[in-house]
Amino acid sequence: MAVSFISDLITRLKAKLKLEGPTQKLEQVERLIQEGKLDEAMREIQLYEDMKNLTENDRLRGQILKCEILNEKRDYKNGLKLSKQILEESEGLGQSLLMIDAMICQGNALLGMGELDDSFKITEKVEVLLKKIEDIKEREYDTRHAATTELKGKICRRKGDMNLALDLLQESLSIREKLKDFHAKADLLNNMGIIHASKGEFDPALDYLQKSLEIYEELKMEQPIIKLFNNIGLIYSYKGELDKSLEYYQKSLDLSEKFENKQISATLLLNIGQIYLSKGELDFALDYNQRSLALYEELDSTYELAICLNNIGNIFESKGELVQALEVYTRSLNLFEKIQEKSGTALSMNNIGNVYRSRGEATEAISYYTKSLELLEEAGNNLEASSALLNLVLMTIYWEDVGEPQPYLQKLQEIDNKEENKAINQIYRLAKAIVLRKSARVVKQAEAQQIFQQIAEEEIIQHERTVDAMLNLCEMLLLELRTSGNEEVLKEITGILEKLQTIGENQHSYSLLVDTYMLKSKMALLELDLDSARQLLGEAQQMAEEKGLRNLAMMISGEYDTLMDQLGKWTDLIDQNVPMIEKLELTELEGMVSRIIRKKAETPEFAGEEPALFLILTETGTMRFSKQFAPEGTLDDKVIGDLLTAINNFIQETFAATGSIERIKHKEHTLLMKPIDPLLCCYVFKGQSYSALRKLDTFIDTVKGSRSLWRLLTSTTKSDKTISAEKKMEDIVSNIFLSQDSSAVLQVEN
């Protein structure tokens, strides 16, 4: 039945082709390409090729459109192969216009493959050939001239010459307006919007994209609108308006799913994942990227697979999981190299360099940064090449015996001199200041500080560069504070940290926020404000845990342990006139700033704690459950009494700060308290607190995830009975708190 239907359909389509004729059929295919219906367009081309009595000219016109479909589907290898074949046959027939069309297809395929110089040479050949054709109709000339100019503009964009790219696309746009080619006009406006965005000119970018959207809506073309919604979402993500960005990405995803376009859906899932990464929601980011990865694997899209793996590597790197990040980046690199995609290869090499830099493996980092730079220079991508040069400058400054910064700085200056690009200029000045501050001469250090100050105060182009400048400025001011003890310097540093916090909040950069909270905690110690110091560390710990920043969470826990151990010493300093240098040394603030600047990852090693006592209390302090782990006699009545007094003193305050953890140090014991309304969990132990914190969270998650346990716990708040004798609760508490694995969970029935 199905076979009969399909056979009948093909017969009817072939009959329709005879009525329509070659020209009408090709116009229909071109319309399908414009609407983004590429699979349908390819089917129609195959039917077109079966038409009888096609001239060689008609057949080659169909092949040109087939080549365009292949390029649109990113099948550049086959697009290039077919365009060369068409060119050879057209040349044999002496068909100059077909030769030009084939060359434009060839140029677009080469552009897609990253062969920018070869693509540009094609455009030059087209321009020469166009001028040689005699008696060419004005419309035929204008159409090819516009397409060639547009191709040149796209090449310049990929090379990083954004101003020339805009000029060329504007020239092509004027021709398309003259021709009343509205689809091409809309596509050009879209591309011009993206270029303005890459220059940091987001409002003009949105204006161009909105104009493009209006044209597509007038043409009633829904599929191209998918791309527009995606790009508008991209601009809002650049502007830091992440919720607005998600709104447009979701609109685009809804449309792509309507048309069952898996390719675009995969891209949108990838972009949504990037927004969640930008928001610091690493688990959501990983989920969306993995969904995107599954679609790309189904589609066998090598380029997109490599991009998706690169993004997943970004997530692991943000989590501080550098082994996994390196593994995924390497898979991405292998795929980019397989398809000879130079820009992607350079990107993966740069990211691998970042991982080695974080691990302190300088030689490997420099090797990958250098390879990345070579590819970017070949491609003429000056913006990304500038970033690679900055990385190499930083490596030579922060690591010994790995080379001199001057050759890289000189290259940066040369790029800056020939480019009118704010981002490149900022990168060059930042690199220059970093080199100057390492000079032994005071005058050069003063110049460096002035540059850092300028970058910190000017318009944010790339927030990472602004942050780098602020941190370097902070480090220089700390050195001044050490030597002068001037309180005004302290105020300047405090101002910088406030700005860093604002940037972190605006960019949803939780790692920056966590680092800033830690720095502010140490600044509070300098001012002997111990309560604020502890509160800031607590906020940093909670944020790091919530956002999956495990390495940072471990580091903060270690900082908190150190502070608790030194609390008596800090308390004694309050009544003493202690020199600033002594307080600076005790805080180790300079070392922390240095670590953040150098982006060197540290994985703290923690021993497990020694459990002593676990309690569950009500808000009024009534005990509902208790479990003593220490051998009998280890915890005498006085120690337990002191601990209960401490709990009662802090209980109301702890309940008031929902979700927070209160820590109390009593001699060699540490007490952790965390509310789970309407109860309070208290864990007493000896040793470091990170594992203890994890176990406490694991217990809370376990009981909240079990309806029967939660009913058992909460029902006791309405009576005087305790549940210490309940075996199920005993088993869970023992399983979690006596385990060497801080994430161990006993499987319980609901």
Token pair for 310? 């690169």
Short-list 122, 15, 21, CA closest to 79:
122
Cβ atoms of 152 and 166 closer than 8 Å = no
% of the chain surpassing 70 pLDDT: 91
Sequence-separated (6 or more) residues with CB below 8 Å from residue 44:
25, 28, 29, 32
Rounded Cα–Cα distance for residues 207 and 235 (Å): 11
The pLDDT value recorded for residue 745 is 41
DSSP single-letter state for residue 718? G
Phi–psi pair at 172, nearest 5 degrees: -65, -40
Residue 601's pLDDT band, with cuts at 50, 70 and 90, is: low
C-alpha closest to that of 720 among 615, 613, 620, 648? 620
Among 186-200, 544-558, 644-658, the range scoring the smallest mean pLDDT is: 644-658
Q: Return the pLDDT at 653.
A: 60
CA 425 to each of CA 103, 279, 309, 462: distance values in angstroms, whole numbers, following the listed order = 37, 28, 31, 11
Q: Which two tokens stand for residue 440?
A: 């032994």
Domains in the chain and their CATH numbers?
455-605 (no CATH), 610-737 (3.30.450.70)
Name the nearest CA neighbour of 405 among 441, 376, 430: 430
Q: Of 189-193, 494-498, 692-696, which gets the smallest average pLDDT?
A: 692-696
Tokens 């998918």, located at residue = 226
Average pLDDT over residues 633-649: 70
Tell me how far apart the alpha carbons of residues 272 and 248 are, in angstroms, rounded to a whole number. 10
Residue 744 pLDDT > 50: no
**How far is the C-alpha of 734 from the C-alpha of 746, rounded, in Å?**
10
Q: For the chain, how are helix, strand and coil distributed in percent, rounded to 5? A: 75, 5, 20
Instruction: Tell me which amino acid residue 74 is.
Output: R
* Alpha-helical regions (H) of 419-462: 422-436, 442-457
C-alpha 700/C-alpha 688 separation (Å) is 20
CA distance 251 to 526: 50
When mean pLDDT is compared across 291-295, 477-481, 707-711, the lowest value belongs to: 707-711
* Confidence (pTM): 0.70
Euclidean distance between CA atoms 308 and 293, whole angstroms: 6
Nearest to 545 by CA among 276, 282, 273, 746: 282
Highest mean pLDDT among 338-342, 531-535, 639-643: 531-535
Instruction: Give me Rg for the CA atoms of the chain.
Output: 32
The rounded mean pLDDT for the chain is 86
In sequence order, what are the residues at sequence separation of 6 or more whose Cβ sits closer than 8 angstroms to the Cβ of residue 568?
A: none
- The stretch 179-185 carries a mean pLDDT of 93
Q: What is the pLDDT of residue 741?
A: 59
What tokens appear for 709 in the block?
């346990």
Q: Which long-range contacts (CB under 8 A, 24 or more apart) does 483-492 make?
A: 485/579, 485/580, 485/581, 490/523, 490/526, 490/527
Report residue 640's pLDDT band, with 50, 70 and 90 as the boundaries.
Answer: confident
Give the DSSP letter of residue 631.
P
